[in-house]
Structure 1
Amino acid sequence: MKSALIIHPDFYDRCDLEDFLNKRSYRVATAKSIRKGLFKLRGQVFRCLIVKAPDQLEYCLALIHEIRKLRPQVPIIFLKREVTEQFAETLSQQPEVYLVLEPFSKIDLLRRLDGLCEQEVSSAPSVNAR
């Protein structure tokens, strides 16, 4: 099953994304803060994370580090309104980290999520039932 965790401080944006993804057969959990999102990540398994990127690059890298300690392979999509070249370049060097500029098309975000979920399922080892 496709699942995503949305960590976004804005209530309306968070609910809008949640409703959009729920209608497209995603199991979605939301969190208002990074702390609450990390707590949910400890107790549940998600195929993808959608995170409102912190303004400071150092905070963003620290967040990636914390997420990787909990779930090393989960793809992270950062949403950001304004991006410097250094910010984009640094994030592009991180494995399984993607940057989406706001405002964005929800359909494009859905396509990216579907691609990441399919990629993860196809790369998972197959188990033969006896």
Structure 2
Amino acid sequence: MTITYEWRGEFDNAALDALHADGFGHPAGRTDWRERLHRHSLGWVCAREDGALIGFVNVGWDGGVHAFILDTVVAEHRRAKGVGTALVATAAERARAARCQWLHVDFEDHLRPFYFDACGFQETTAGLLAL
């Protein structure tokens, strides 16, 4: 089976809600992802296998040189098979093509090996303020 990766790919809100629910362990919502992404994102990458959405990453940005990885998610049955790494690599390639100079990510500690080892991010000092 072939997995394809598409920048700013078409998707169904319900399919992306279901993927998020599977990936982040919460009930499926009713988010208008299409509206949200078209309004706030540089782009996004959809991973598909036989037409089914199996992976997704959102690339937010500041309108200038900074892009941000958000909501990286891969379907449970396709994890640890390189799908997430390919999603992030495609996102980085497209952010670079948009003349972004920095790609930021924040994550939970258990994802350090994925982002630092598999995806090549470097550790940096950052701050976070819970609102």
Fold shared per TM-score above 0.5: no
Structure with more of its chain in strand, by fraction: 2
- Provide TM-score, normalisation by structure 2: 0.32
- Provide TM-score, normalisation by structure 1: 0.32
